[in-house]
Structures are given as C-alpha cells and as structure tokens.
Structure 1
Amino acid sequence: IQWKRVIDMNDRALRDTVIGLGGTKQGIPRQEGFDITAASEVMATLCMAENLKDLKERLGNIYIGETFDGKSIFARDLHAHGAMAALLKDAIKPNLVQTLEETPAIIHGGPFANIAQGTNTIIATKMGMSLSDYVVTEAGFASELGAEKFFDIKCQQGGLSPHAVVIVATIRALKYHGGAKLKELAAPDMKALQNGFDNLDKHIENMQLFGFNPVVAINKFVSDTSEEIDLIMSYCKGKGIRCAINDSWEKGGEGAVDLAELVVEASNSCPSCFTPLYKKEERYEEKIDKIAKQLYGAKNVEYSVKAKEQLDYFESMNLSNLAVCMAKTQKSLSDNPNLKNRPKDFTVKIREIELSAGAGFIVPIAGNIMRMPGLPSTPSAEAIDIDENGNISGLF
C-alpha cells in the first residue's frame, strides 16, 4: 500500500509510524506515515482538474498500491472515486474573496511547490481569465520549482499561454545567497548583495529558457537602504531587465503601480513567447535531465536502484507520458539546501520516484523532503493568550 494518511496539523511524530498493532482485528502491522493535508495527491489532483467530470476520473486514477501478484490497484478499483468526487463537489468551486483594498481575488488550491506543482487550480486561473483583462497568479518558491512546474505541468495540461513573468526578489535573500548570515540580513552589505546577483542571474536565465525576459520585482523591506536598492536597479538595467520596487506591503496597491505598469508593458510586448522546456512524449530520463541540467545547473543526474526500478514499473503500466514534478529543497538551486547562490558541478541524486497518476505526473525525489512539518522549538502558541473578558492576544 503506497497511499499515506493525511492530517491538517503539524506533528513530526507522525512522519513515520507503525500501525495495525493489537491483534488481527486491528489490521496488519506495517510501517506507515502521515503527510500534511496540503501534500496529499488529492490536493494536487484537484488543482489539475478542468471540471467535476475530469476530477472524478482523475481521482479514480490515483495509484493506491499493488496486490501480492503485482497487479496495480487504483482508487477506481476500490470504487472510491465517486464518493471522493462527491466530497469535493463544493471544493472544486473557486473562492472569490475581497482584498483589503476591495479588489477581487480568487483563492483556490494550495499544493506545496517543493513536492507538488505549487500553483492554484486550472479552474481558478481560467475563471480569472474569463472575468478580467489581466490575471496575476503565483507559482510557489523560485524559478526552478514553482515556475517550471507552472509552465511544464499546469500550462501544458490547461492549454495556457502566459504573456509575462515576474521574478520576486528581495535584497535580504540576495545578501543571504551572497554570503551574509541570517541574523545580519538587516544590516547594509553591498558586497554580499553584489555576490548574490549570481543567484538572480540564474533565475533570469531560467525564465529566458521559457521564452520570457522577466520583470524583476524587488519586495521592499524597511531595512533596505537606498544604496542597496540603487545597486540592484542599476544591475538589472545593465542587463536589459525591467525592474521595479514593490512597496505594496506598506503602501498597498499604490506601492505597486510602477511594477504593474512594467508588467503590462512586458505582457503586451510578448503575446506568444511561451515555450515549454520539454514535451510530454519525451522519456522520463530526458525530462528530468533537462530540468536538472538546464534549470538547476547540475552537471549530472544519478538514480538509485530503487528509482530506476520505479521508472521501469511506471512504463510497464503504460504511464510513460506523464509530466515530471521534481521534489527537492526550496533553499537551493541544487538538491542540497547547504549550497547557496549559484552552485555548479553538482550531481542531482534521485533516491526514489512517486507516482501521482491522478494529478498527471511522477514525482522524482531528490534529497530529503519533509512531507509533514514540525512545530518550531518555540511555537506561536506560547504567545497566544485570552483575558477574563474574552479578548485574545498574540495572534498577530
């Protein structure tokens, strides 16, 4: 049985468990584990569905495990997909919400970008496109994770063709990749910032692989100095890259007007630039190779014996044309969270590959990926309190 249980609460003790203890009536003793709900394949499947009929079919395609004689078992074989679709009949409908400035926004779906596709639902994006001249959507984490999956998985499946790309950068993150320590990111450090431009360069190049000259949005922090801002603005200008400060955290929409104008300009200048990195009919090894070498900057890709056997097994199931959804750390361009900035001459090591047939992709796992978060040593709960009048404090 490959299907894991899920729970919508952080609990590191549930990452690896043993179930079925206590006698035959309690099931068969076996090793198990829990994922956080957002990491469930059901979430990824919901986000890839075009409509309720498609969702039901995809839920039926979810791979559960295999019998003792090697026969693959899917959710449809357990006659579970009808009930699953019934439970999701309202969840498939996008949520229209109002922002603080009374503008409309659609919130729908939330798969993690380090282990799933990291984008909202296809339905929500198409709904937005039917209601507005411009739709802005986010792909989780950086260009080699969320953006790659948005393009190669979501856009290819949904028939979407984006017109512009925005890379969200912060001076703090660039200084961190440039060698500054986490506790010192608020201090001015022109040298670390300049060193971190190598990281920004790679993300810009990654977007150019898909046919776009991206807009760089600098999310402004109160600790950013005018000299640091001028340096990154000058650097982007020298590379011919549109760049603007995004001060919307402090000023709301007014703080993002310059950025919005550049995005409109970029979208009008490139209406049909989008080119996927790979085609679905390419072999899995070719797709993984392109992602690792062209987007991550890897020199080689190595597969464990288990990963090789899993690829062969998927192909024997006539599942050779699925997309590839890489699972790796979001803290580095590589699969090693300790390699900062723009690492080179590294090897991406695929230790195992999971099948998410319902969502329509395989998941090669590189490095150690946590699918069940744990609470920090000092959880937020310690700051929350309530007084005798029912007033709650410490939530924000």
Structure 2
Amino acid sequence: MNELAEQLLTPDTPIADAGAIWLARLASAGLDSDDAEDDLDERARESQRHHARQTIASYETALRIFVRWAERNGRQRLGDLSIGDLVAYARSLRKRSYDLSQRAAAARANGQGERLAERTIHAYVRPLFGFLALADSQGAIPFRVAAARPEVSRILPRLPDPVAPTPPDLRRLVRFYDKPTGEERERQTLIRLRNAALLHLLFSSGARISEALSLDVGDVARDRRVLGRVVVRGKGRREGTLFIRRHAEQALQRYLTARQWPAAREPFFVAFDPRAGGGRLSRISGWRIVTTAANALADRLVWEGKVDEAELLRRVTPHTFRHFVGYHLLNEGVALAEVSQILRHRSVEVTRSYYASYADVQLQEVHDQFSADPWPDE
C-alpha cells in the first residue's frame, strides 16, 4: 500500500480526507476492468475487490458530491455523520439535479433544473456504503453500515431488473478479419490475425472484453498448443473457465504462430502501434476492433438490402458476443444453471434476471406444444 492508503480513520478525520484514503486503498489493492458484486459482507468485499480506473474515477465523483453536500449541512468529520444524514442526502438527490455549480443553482431557481436519472442516483449513493464500511470497521462513525443500508434503500428509486438485449446473429461477423483484403505488410498481418483471434475468442467463450485482454500467452497455450479450456479471473477476481472451440483454437494458433510464439509471460493481445511499444491492448482498442468490424459488415448488408440486420449490427459491442452465447445456448436447450456457469455469473439468479424474458418465451412454447386441450365437442 502507499502511505495515504495506510492511514487509519477516526471520528475526527475530515470526510474529504477519509474519502481520499478509501480511494487510495482501492487503487493500491489492484485494478480490474470490472466492478464486482459478490455475496460477501461489505467489509470483506472492499478488501477483496479490484477496480477499474474508470470505476475509481466514478467513485471519486460520487464522494466529491457527497462531501460538498455534507459540508453545506455542517458535517465536516466522520463522527458528525448519522443515518439521518444519509437518508437526507438520498432525498436531496431525488428532488433535484444535484449539481453544486452556481449556474445549476440559478437554473434550479428558475425552474429549469432537470432531475437526476434513477441509475445516476444509485451510482452516487452506492459507493458511499463501501466508503462508510471502511470507516465502520475502524470505529470512525457513530452507526453501523448494516443499519444504514435498509434505511437509505427505502429512499432510492426502484430500478428495473436488468434484461439482456436480443443480439443479432454474429456468425458472419466473427469471420470478418479471417482473410486479407489485399496485400499486407508484416505488421498489417499481425494486426489482422490479432483482431481475428479476439473476435473468435469472444464468440467461442462469451468472455468479457476485460477477461480476454487480461490474458497472457501462457494462459492460452502450452508447448505451442492452444488450450481448449483457459482459466481466467473475472469480476471480483473470481476464477472461471473460458471454453475454446475448434474455430477459435485455429485463430489463436495462427496469431501466435505469426508472433513466433512469444514468452508465456507476454500479453496475449498486444498493441502493434509503434507508439504503444508492444504493450497490452487497451480496452478502448478492443472495443474499436469489434465495432469497426460490425459497422463495416453493416455497410455491406445495407447494399444487400438487409437494412434491419445492418441496424442491429451497428449496436454491437464486445459484450454483445456474451449475450449471443447466452441466447444461443438457451435456444439449444441448455439448462439455465449450465449457461450461468459458462458465462461465469456469480449465481444462477443473475443469469435468470438477464434472460428471464427469453425463458418465459421458451416456456410458453413448451406449454403450447405439450399442454392438454379439452376434448372436442361430440
């Protein structure tokens, strides 16, 4: 840990300083591309999580807004806070657009302020529980977080259950980078084979883009042979398995062969841009590889008169491959619990919540096919 992260909290610690200590602890614990929602108590969760830089940045914004609200209401130290303050803060977020700038205050005075979206309100409140859990564990606040959570939750707007969007058929898109479109130089070939390997891996395994980009060569191959099962650490550093089908094995093998089988500790997906110096491919670049292929294929489909299919492709992101795997497996009759394990959800209830609408349609088809009808009139 760095020096800031090692500092302890007391009731006299200023709230702003306490927030900086908490954020430093998250950063020093490690950085992942995804936030985690484990079935652990809050203290254990905060000690085990690894966070993305963008996640920590969003937490910093949420804390900054809360600190400003607290200072305006005479709450300077951790010991000044109460459960009632948290409830009042949640209510203030629901009542108005909580922007502390003078321009926003003038707009609200003129009746022009817009209310915060429901998900934004949750995004501002949720990090506070993790922050206060650290203070609670060190006896720096005069209440227990476990007691505060239900009180605040009653004030928050109810969010709709998450539903996975129905994805387009990606079986044509996955082969977008397989063949050269013209003469290629060595670097262009490496880039195309890397892009093809990424699409095939996502299509085969339903991996999160963060999982795919975190892989090293040694995770994927042994003795110059691509593995059929790849161990990966996903959300919350939970270990899972990516299953690699034959078409993906071949794409990964071609890519590694072109790279002349680098050392096991080297990143699997690397940036071949000279400015990147052969470092690990970034999340933004991974997204660009997928969306560029999807938009180019959509343009072709427009010329073929398949406008609706093209429109669906333009919405494709790396996560769309994950939804495609889920829907395809369910369509083939795979049990929901097995789909949950393949997608590495933390529980089957998460899978059920995402694909509940599809499961209902499937059940209705089974019901219509096999349920009894009354005897015909005689």
Q: What TM-score comes out, normalization by structure 1 length? A: 0.23
Larger helix percent: 2
Larger Rg: 2
Q: What TM-score comes out, normalization by structure 2 length? A: 0.24
